[in-house]
């Protein structure tokens, strides 16, 4: 016969299972928005795409632009802390791919990306045609 395990521990294990089932961020793709979360800012000359990529080192991120779509791919890996038990998981984990449709013509050879404190900022300069212009009204 097996010894009865600590009831509190059992209870804790069940709670964790429930947490996992109802977690806000169980897997990629089932959330409202997919990791990484992205904001777009439209200024006169440049379109900015900002993505939150906490815990992803620079070398694990790849950015591509093709046919009017910007794709951010990468991988987020958790650190290992020896023989540790994960008591709570809210951070997303694993491979990710985010495709952002760019709604205007941009100079694809002038795209720049900056990575700082887990924030990725991609600047996409607009072509002259895509920039807003003032139209003189004739009477």
Partner 1 sequence: MAEMGKREQVPAGNSSIEQLVSPSNSFSPDVNIYDNREALIFSVDMPGVRKGDVSIEIDENNVLSIKGKLSFKEPEGKSMVKEFDVGNYYRAFSISEEFDKNNISGKLENGVLEIIMPRKEEVKPRRIQINA
Look at the block and give the residue holding tokens 């795209």.
111
Binds partner 1 (CB under 8 A): choice among 33, 66, 109, 134: 33
Stretch that binds partner 1, among 3-11, 67-75, 79-87, 105-113 (CB under 8 A): 79-87
Instruction: Return the DSSP state at 67.
Output: T
- What phi and psi, each to the nearest 5 degrees, are found at residue 8? -65, -40
Stretch that binds partner 1, among 1-9, 63-71, 112-120 (CB under 8 A): 112-120
If one asks whether residue 73 binds partner 1 (CB under 8 A), the answer comes out as no
Residue 14 region, left (φ>0) first, then alpha (ψ -120 to 50), else beta?
alpha
What is the end-to-end Cα distance of the chain in Å, rounded? 97
* Minimum separation from the CB atom of position 67 to partner 1 (A): 19
Measured between alpha carbons, how far is 103 from 49 in angstroms, rounded to an integer? 12
Binding site for partner 1 (CB under 8 A): 25, 33, 37-44, 46-48, 50, 52-57, 78-79, 81-92, 100, 103, 116-119, 121, 123
């Amino acid at each position: 016969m097996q010894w009865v395990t600590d009831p509190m521990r059992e209870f804790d294990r069940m709670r964790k299972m429930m947490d996992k089932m109802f977690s806000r961020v169980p897997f990629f793709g089932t959330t409202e928005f997919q990791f990484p979360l992205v904001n777009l800012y439209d200024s006169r000359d440049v379109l900015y795409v900002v993505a939150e990529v906490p815990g992803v080192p620079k070398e694990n991120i790849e950015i591509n632009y093709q046919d009017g779509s910007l794709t951010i791919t990468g991988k987020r890996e958790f650190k290992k802390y020896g023989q540790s038990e994960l008591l709570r998981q809210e951070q997303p984990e694993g491979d990710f791919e985010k495709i952002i449709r760019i709604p205007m013509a941009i100079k694809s050879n002038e795209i720049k990306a900056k990575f700082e404190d887990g924030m990725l900022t991609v600047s996409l300069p607009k072509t002259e045609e895509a920039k807003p212009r003032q139209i003189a009204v004739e009477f």
